[in-house]
């Protein structure tokens, strides 16, 4: 019986999005999207500014209520049951500031206590060592550089050893060497914890390296969903950056429209 329950739990997607839409007044930010993310996978959520990435992540976290549709994380309905799974997930964005007057250590202590982390001081020291900011622990958060804030934000996201990790530009403002090191740390974390990662990024080389799958959004709709290699092949491009540019600039729609027009002309 226990084996059956464990098998069912493993089979349940980490994230399930069904017919999800969000309107803000007359603006539809997300339009009827559906997808499921397998446990232990790394999925990229890509799109230009205004594509709906941040709104989608907000609904997955339970911070934004959908207009229609539903989100389930680790089997829990995020509109009604999110408190059952919030301690098993976390979020990182270098664009969300921590209180400036508190030190890095104080900020991380507050978040650790919110997540009921055991042995808080030891956990903070370990993460600071892993992410190379031990010397910053007693510095006010408001005095950090952009790159330092990114490393501290990632530590905050890993405090509770989350099973589901949502990342928004995890290597923003980092120099190439540190960014490469952070990507390696994320890869190691996923393997060690069998964690599920949903990653929003504008760094296409990073997405190609980390992601098993890419979901591409444009104007709140899914316009591509496959592995990076298959999307590159499908679009006939050399890399994911060229695919991204095709989608962002509407080249694919233009090519499809021209092809349909040519076929119509030949039929006439």
Residue 227 has pLDDT above 90, yes or no: yes
Residue 98 has pLDDT above 90, yes or no: yes
Residues 6+ apart with CB under 8 A from 126: none
Residue 260 has pLDDT above 50, yes or no: no
> Taking a C-beta distance cutoff of 8 angstroms, is the pair 164, 12 a contact?
no
The percentage of the chain sitting over the pLDDT mark of 90, rounded to a whole number, equals 74
pTM for the model stands at 0.87
The percentage of the chain sitting over the pLDDT mark of 70, rounded to a whole number, equals 90
Residues 170, 90: Cα–Cα separation, whole Å: 13
Three-state DSSP class for residue 251: helix
Residue 96 has pLDDT above 70, yes or no: yes
Residues 199, 202: Cα–Cα separation, whole Å: 10
Confidence band, pLDDT 50/70/90 cuts, at residue 257: very low
Residues 6+ apart with CB under 8 A from 251: 245
What are the residue boundaries of the structural domains of the chain, listed by start? Answer: 2-96+163-261
Cβ atoms within 10 Å, residue 91? 20
pLDDT in tens, 104-146: 999 999 999 999 999 999 999 999 998 989 999 999 999 999 8
User: Smallest Cα–Cα separation from 214: which of 190, 243, 181, 191?
Assistant: 243
> Taking a C-beta distance cutoff of 8 angstroms, is the pair 227, 38 a contact?
no
The class level of CATH for 2-96+163-261 reads alpha beta
């Amino acid at each position: 019986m226990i084996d059956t329950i464990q098998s069912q739990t493993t089979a349940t997607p980490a994230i399930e999005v069904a017919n999800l839409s969000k309107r803000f007044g007359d603006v539809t930010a997300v339009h009827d999207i559906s997808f499921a993310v397998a446990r232990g996978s790394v999925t990229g959520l890509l799109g230009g500014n205004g594509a709906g990435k941040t709104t989608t992540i907000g609904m997955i976290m339970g911070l934004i209520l959908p207009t229609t549709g539903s989100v389930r994380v680790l089997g829990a309905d995020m509109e009604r049951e999110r408190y059952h799974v919030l301690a098993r997930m976390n979020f990182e964005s270098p664009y969300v500031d921590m209180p400036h007057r508190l030190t890095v250590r104080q900020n991380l202590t507050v978040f650790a206590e919110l997540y009921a982390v055991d042995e808080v001081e030891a956990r903070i020291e370990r993460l600071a060592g892993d992410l190379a900011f031990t010397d910053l622990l007693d510095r006010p958060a408001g005095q950090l550089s952009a790159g330092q804030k990114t490393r501290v934000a990632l530590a905050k996201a890993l405090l509770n050893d989350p099973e589901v990790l949502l990342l928004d530009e995890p290597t923003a403002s980092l120099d190439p060497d540190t960014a490469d090191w952070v990507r390696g740390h994320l890869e190691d974390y996923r393997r060690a914890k069998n964690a599920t990662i949903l990653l929003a990024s504008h760094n296409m080389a990073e997405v190609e390296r980390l992601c098993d799958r890419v979901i591409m959004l444009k104007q709140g709709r899914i316009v591509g969903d496959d592995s990076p290699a298959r999307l590159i092949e499908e679009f006939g491009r050399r890399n994911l950056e060229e695919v991204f540019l095709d989608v962002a600039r509407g080249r694919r729609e233009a090519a499809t429209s021209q092809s349909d027009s040519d076929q119509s002309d030949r039929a006439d």
